[in-house]
Structure 1
Amino acid sequence: MIAKTPGFVNGVPRVLLQVEGFAVALASIVASSWSGASWWLFAAFILAPDLSILCYLAGPRIGAIAYNTVHVYLGPVILFGAATALAMPTGIALALIWSAHIGIDRMVGYGLKYGDGFTFTHLGQIGRQAQG
């Protein structure tokens, strides 16, 4: 039985969110490949959303807000729509890379952050503290 932590997604809903993350990551990577976008661009930007971690230097609440802002699908969806409407292939590629990053994070269990600290996510606590 999976331990239940109040405030975190557990059990089947957590697994479904992780499978969903895998599906989004896979679809984004495949679409990026089919688009002909540069793999160098992919490699250069796949970790870019994690630069938001630097906002934790301003405190856990500000850090969580910044991290969550770039780790929800709304941003890449808006970018993809705008880049498609404006026929901007680089924007489309960046949106796909961004959504792949978010999907990979969800797949491995990195969720949206709570203001309590970096290790507290909607998918459960991460890091060494989570194993204790």
Structure 2
Amino acid sequence: MSGEVTGGVRVILRLEGLVVLAAALLAYSKFGNGWGVFAIFFLVPDLAFLGYLMGPRVGAVAYNFAHSYIGAVACLTAGLLLSMPLLLTAGLIWCAHIGFDRMLGYGLKYQAGFGFTHFGRIGKHA
């Protein structure tokens, strides 16, 4: 087994990304700080790409941290439980970003290089 998902499982994971994106957008419309803030911060998790300047191992760790639901949901939960609207906003935007990426088929990265994801190979060598 190659460590990548295929077939129906891949479709389900991409649909899950769409559902998370839709849920985050719906929640943001109710609890967020305006769509301008959303637009400004939506791509912030992609700054993790800079980790690849230090090699594929560091890049994969940085990318996976920024594109895993663990930190995003922790931020969202802390915002709710501690009544901190900025954390709630950040968590919703972060979840929306991850959902968007997963919907498009951009998965968590393996240390072999940026193009190796749990969804399979991406890029021109896919």
* TM-score w.r.t. length of structure 2: 0.96
Rounded to whole Å, the distance in 2 between the matches of 1:76 and 1:69 is 9
Rg (Cα) greater in structure: 1
Rounded to whole Å, the distance in 2 between the matches of 1:70 and 1:57 is 16
Moved over 2 A (4+): none
1:51 equivalent in structure 2: 47
Unaligned stretches of 5+ residues in structure 1: none
1:45 Cα deviation after fit: 0.7
Q: Count matched residues.
A: 126
1:34 equivalent in structure 2: 30
Identity of aligned residues (%): 52
Alignment of 1:25-104 (within 5 A): 25-104=21-100
C-alpha distance after superposition, 1:84-122 (max 9, x if no partner) = 122111110110000000000000000000000001100
- 1:14 equivalent to 2:10? Answer yes
1:55 Cα deviation after fit: 0.5
C-alpha distance after superposition, 1:13-69 (max 9, x if no partner) = 100000000000000011001114211110011000000000000000110011001
- When the two chains are superposed, the root-mean-square deviation of aligned CA atoms in Å is 1.1
Rounded to whole Å, the distance in 2 between the matches of 1:89 and 1:36 is 8
- 1:119 equivalent to 2:115? Answer yes
Rounded to whole Å, the distance in 2 between the matches of 1:38 and 1:86 is 21
Unaligned stretches of 5+ residues in structure 2: none
Give the 3-state SS of the residue equivalent to 1:128 in structure 2.
Answer: coil
Letter of the 2:27 partner, please give it: A
Rounded to whole Å, the distance in 1 between the matches of 2:86 and 2:35 is 12
